[in-house]
Amino acid sequence: MKLPRDLSGEELVKALCRDWGYRRVDQEGSHITLQTEQPGHHRTAVPAHKSLRVGTLNAILRAVARHKGVTKEDVLKSVR
């Protein structure tokens, strides 16, 4: 599945909070820290940039998918 090249950090944060049980816990500069306790503790940082770089987006999706026990494509579907 091809990753979107125009996805903003804010859009990703909203999707992860809405669909995957994450919540905003902090922001330092342009990086938003998200945290979840489902199914265990996990934190990730999302750059609040206009468009995320493909490698950065891929790394965040992979980390969320690994923690939730789903595929990267499942996480990406909820973002679109």
- What does pLDDT average to over the chain? 95
- Is 2 among the domain residues? no
| Strand order from edge to edge, sheet including 23-28 | 23-28, 31-36, 42-47
- Is 30 among the domain residues? yes
pLDDT of residue 79: 84
Q: Residue 58 half-sphere exposure, CB side, CA atoms within 13 Å?
A: 7
Contact 49, 30 (CB under 8 A): yes
* Residues spanned by the domain of 57: 9-79
Give the total number of structural domains in the chain.
1
Q: Would you say residue 61 has pLDDT above 80? A: yes
pLDDT digits (tens, 9 = 90+) for 31-58: 999 999 999 999 999 999 999 999 999 9
- Is 68 among the domain residues? yes
Distance CA 71, CA 29 (A): 30
Give helix 72-79 / helix 54-68 axis angle, nearest 10°.
110
To the question of pTM greater than 0.85 for the whole model, the response is: yes
Per-residue confidence band for 1, with pLDDT thresholds at 50, 70 and 90: confident
